[in-house]
């Protein structure tokens, strides 16, 4: 095991984070969140870089360009990782760091950055990319008297002032970071 691999395992153990080896020099770290309940952060140790990759959200159903613009604006304010998309449009956090620059504190910062960006952005990303589906689900549950507890983050979309809107709110008005 490389020194960096040992460091990853040690830091995760100290912080009580689930960490699983997924191959030589490759680790999956589970980061517990509030809005996005968990984010799996893959750390891949290479000779010239520590790669950081975390799936955040599947491709949006709607307002793709608005979501991409919002993510690009966020990227300008982020540390070590940035939002990216794959060939089908799924959203990830990705980055590369010089392995010689990674000590326990830096690894903690990297994992903290991934957790913060994934968790704090999640509700806004869902609202932009899946607003119509969220509205349909809310209306379906209310009509049948079912719980909307796990949709509470989107309750503002259904308050009387929001209900009068004919179009979903735009994401440009606030940066919920």
- For 113-156, the pLDDT digits (tens) are 999 999 999 999 999 999 999 999 888 998 999 988 888 888 88
User: Strand pairing partners for 93?
Assistant: 54, 83
Domains for the chain: give ranges and CATH numbers: 3-122 (3.30.1460.10)
Q: What is the mean pLDDT of the chain?
A: 90
b/e burial code for range 48-69 (CB count within 10 A of at least 16 → b):
eebbbbbbbbeebeebeebbbe
Distance in angstroms (rounded) separating the CA atoms of residues 167 and 23: 47
Residue with the larger pLDDT of the pair 1 and 67: 67
DSSP bridge partners of 82:
94
Q: What letter does residue 159 receive in the DSSP assignment?
A: S
Q: Quick one: how far is CA 77 from the chain centroid?
A: 15
Read off the pLDDT of residues 68-89 as tens digits, 9 standing for 90 and up: 999 999 999 999 999 999 999 9
The Cα angle at residue 83 between residues 87 and 126, in degrees rounded to 5: 85
């Amino acid at each position: 095991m490389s020194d960096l691999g040992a460091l990853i395992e040690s830091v995760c153990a100290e912080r009580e984070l689930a960490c699983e080896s997924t191959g030589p020099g490759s680790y999956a770290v589970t980061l517990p969140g509030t809005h996005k309940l968990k984010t799996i952060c893959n750390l891949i140790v290479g000779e010239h870089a520590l790669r950081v990759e975390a799936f955040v959200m599947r491709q949006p159903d709607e307002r793709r360009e608005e979501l991409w613009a919002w993510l690009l604006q966020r990227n300008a304010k982020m540390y070590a990782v940035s939002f990216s998309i794959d060939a089908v449009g799924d959203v990830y956090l990705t980055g590369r760091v010089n392995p010689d620059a990674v000590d326990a504190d830096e690894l903690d910062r990297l994992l903290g950055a991934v957790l913060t960006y994934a968790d704090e952005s999640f509700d806004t990303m869902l609202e932009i990319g899946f607003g119509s589906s969220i509205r349909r689900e809310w209306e379906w549950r209310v009509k049948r008297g079912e719980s909307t507890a796990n949709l509470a983050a989107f309750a503002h979309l259904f308050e009387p002032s929001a209900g009068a809107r004919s179009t979903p709110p735009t994401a440009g008005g606030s940066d919920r970071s």
